[in-house]
Amino acid sequence: MTPPPSVSGAGAGGDLEAPTADAIRLDGRPVSAAAAAGEVTGGPELRYRGWKAMPFVIGNETFEKLGSIGTAANLMVYLTSVFHMSNLKAAVALNVFGGTTNLATVAGAFASDLYLGRYATVATGCIATFIGMIILTMTAGVPTLHPPPCDVAGARGGGEGKCLGATRGQLAVLGLAFAFIVAGAGGIRPCSLPFGADQFDPSTESGRRGINSFFNWYYFTLTIAVCVSSTAIIYVQSNVSWWVGFSISAALMLASCVLFFAGAGLYVRVRPEGSPFASVARVAVAAIRKRAVIAPSDVKESSLFQTRHASGGGGGVVSRLPYTNQFRFLDKAAIVVDAKSEIGADGHPKNPWRLCSLQQVEETKCILRILPVWLTCIVYYVAFAQTNTYVILQATQSDRHLGGAGSFEVPPGSFTIFPMLALTVWIPLYDRLVVPWARCLTGREEGITLLQRMGIGMALSVLAMLISAMAEKRRRELAVVSPSNTRVSPQSAFWLVPQLAALGLSEAFNQVSQTEFYYRQFPENMRSVAGSVLFSGLAVSSYLSGMLVAAVERATNGAGGGAGDGDDDGGWLAEDLNKGRLDCFYVLIAAIGAANFLAFLACAKWYRYKGSDDDDDDSDHHHHHHHEQVNFADRISAAA
């Protein structure tokens, strides 16, 4: 699960609150309420339909998640059982697929901000996902689009039979399905949440309450969709028929599209306003151009260029950031060398690529301060990448019966539900019990800081990998001594639950806090990309996990004296887990995570929380919510 960031009355987009008449853009241009209204299609006045549009928005998102989550969790089984991929190739392919999917959300966010707008981006994503699900269903339902079953291959070969791999054409069709699904996720994920919040008027009390309630319902339906998709749909795919299971997912995606377009006449559609990173690029260019300028020995705010800036409680007004002495080389972008040639009669820079305001410089510093924290979170996610690959394989080679032999057998893909369940149960407990206790100890409104919560999550991920290693070691040992000739160990697959629950708790601490951290620490005018930063970290992490799997396989292939063909070679990631050392792989991830945790501690100690000239509590980093802000934990606890 990748929860969207907490919001300040506005979803991940951050631009829902209509600017007041005296609001000033960061480039110095005044923005009137009428002009802001003119940026929305449908006339000069905004017509917020609020809850009238919610059945279509929430229904669209619920059916999309119902159709996609279970399918994504079960792809490891599909690739290895139907397309006869080796465990290694399937794991690398899914890491690339997951990484590209998350990276596509970054592209989708920029496309929405620059060209399409949220409505068109979500609409395009829905159609693309539906097409992808149809093609994926065809790969399972049309015999010529997937390899023949292993027994058929054996009969044709006249021997014991070795499973035939997929042809290039079959892999091309499968890749085409993945490409459409990736494109669809890139349009839906970054825009669906803020698009829903767009439908409420944030300038009114009822509108703000509507936004809060929308988030509660959003996460409640998300939880229901995850539970249903990870159980019922996966069961149909694994135990009834792959093409029937995929057909159900495609039908749910069709329902998602129908619901979304059925409400088209009710939606408020905010037009794209351009990339907020243009300001960062201008600061970098201006600082480089003025690299030879000698900065004052004692730089103060008064010695750097500032534009007239509106502050206070008006919606859409960006808080003025105070001067900080980190990354001082960027200060040169705000040094006025020649006022006549650089500053126009209106008091704004004549060339924004040569002179920037102190506000723009400090916003750029905010992003640079966040980068080291983001890099450590990339390594942290490597542990989570295993839940859809090798954890599924562990479950496949374990006893998945709820009772004795002959009882109900849980599909291996359904075990991915346990991290979500642990997160859902823990967050309300943390919000109602732990936070008040921590508040008494620390005196902080939030109990502990966001970075402290992220650090706890990282430590829990290391613990989860160590638990995973112990569980896998015991599973393999029992399989080796078992008289059964099958690969399945007599150990119950439910011994995987502790490690999955630990990962869920880790996610509750780190990933939930990380989304809030990006949203609160990014400059307000860049909150539309705050969620994309999280997704980009997930993307790079998936690629990193794929490279780690390939490197470990290459380094340990044949280490056990096997044939070295990648099947039963005795390497850590052997095709038969009973002949490999997956536990060593988990210990390696734990060691990397521990080193990364130490690096994170150094980054956290160095980090400075974003301040504001309008915030009297900046010195002790107390970031109190405004009345329209909604804490993510409050929403989850209300939904649960």
**Cβ density class 396-415: b for 16+ within 10 Å, e for less:** bbbbbeeeeeeeeebbbbbb
Q: Alpha-carbon distance 197 to 194, whole Å?
A: 5
Question: Among 262-276, 307-321, 501-515, which range has the highest average pLDDT?
Answer: 501-515
Tens of pLDDT, residues 120-140: 888 999 999 999 999 999 999
Please state which CATH number belongs to domain 47-150+165-273: 1.20.1250.20
Which residue has better confidence, 557 or 615? 557
- Give the pLDDT score at 638: 35
Question: H/E element holding 571?
Answer: none
Q: Render 131-169 in DSSP notation, one character per residue.
A: HHHHHHHHHHHSGGGSPPPHHHHHHHHTSS--PPPPPHH
Which residue has better confidence, 470 or 276? 470
- Give the pLDDT score at 308: 59
Torsion of CA 540, 103, 392, 555, to 10 degrees: -30
CB atoms within 10 A of CB 344: 12
Mean pLDDT to the nearest integer, 569-582: 81
Residue 525 pLDDT class (50, 70, 90 cuts): low
> What is the topology classification, in CATH, of domain 366-559+570-611+630-639?
Growth Hormone; Chain: A; (1.20.1250)
Q: Render 393-412 in DSSP notation, one character per residue.
A: HHHHTSB-BSSSTTS-B--G
DSSP state at residue 8: E
- Give the pLDDT score at 481: 79
- Give the pLDDT score at 11: 34
Mean pLDDT to the nearest integer, 263-272: 77
Which residue has better confidence, 520 or 297? 520
- Give the pLDDT score at 36: 35
- Side-chain half-sphere CA neighbours of 42 within 13 A: 15
Contact between 35 and 554 under an 8 Å Cβ cutoff? The reply is no
Which residue has better confidence, 22 or 45? 45
Question: H/E element holding 547?
Answer: helix 530-556
Residue 467 pLDDT class (50, 70, 90 cuts): very high
Q: Alpha-carbon distance 388 to 253, whole Å?
A: 22
- Minimum mean pLDDT range among 168-182, 289-303, 361-375: 289-303
Mean pLDDT to the nearest integer, 97-105: 86
Average pLDDT, the chain: 76
- Give the pLDDT score at 215: 67
Q: Do domains 47-150+165-273 and 366-559+570-611+630-639 have the same CATH topology?
A: yes
User: What's the CA angle centered on 348, arms 342 and 354, to 5 degrees?
Assistant: 40
Strands 30-31 vs 7-8: parallel, antiparallel or unpaired:
unpaired
Q: What is the pTM of this model?
A: 0.69
Q: How far is CA 208 from CA 34, 40, 403, in A?
A: 21, 19, 50
Tens of pLDDT, residues 194-221: 787 777 776 677 777 777 667 667 767 7
Asked if residue 117 has pLDDT above 60, the reply is yes
φ/ψ of residue 270, rounded to 5: -80, 125
Query: Amino acid letter at 560?
Result: G
Mean pLDDT to the nearest integer, 280-291: 89
Task: Return the axis-axis angle of helices 497-521 and 530-556, rounded to nearest 10°.
Answer: 140
Q: Domain locations in the chain?
A: 47-150+165-273, 275-295+325-356, 366-559+570-611+630-639
- Give the pLDDT score at 161: 53
- Give the pLDDT score at 191: 79
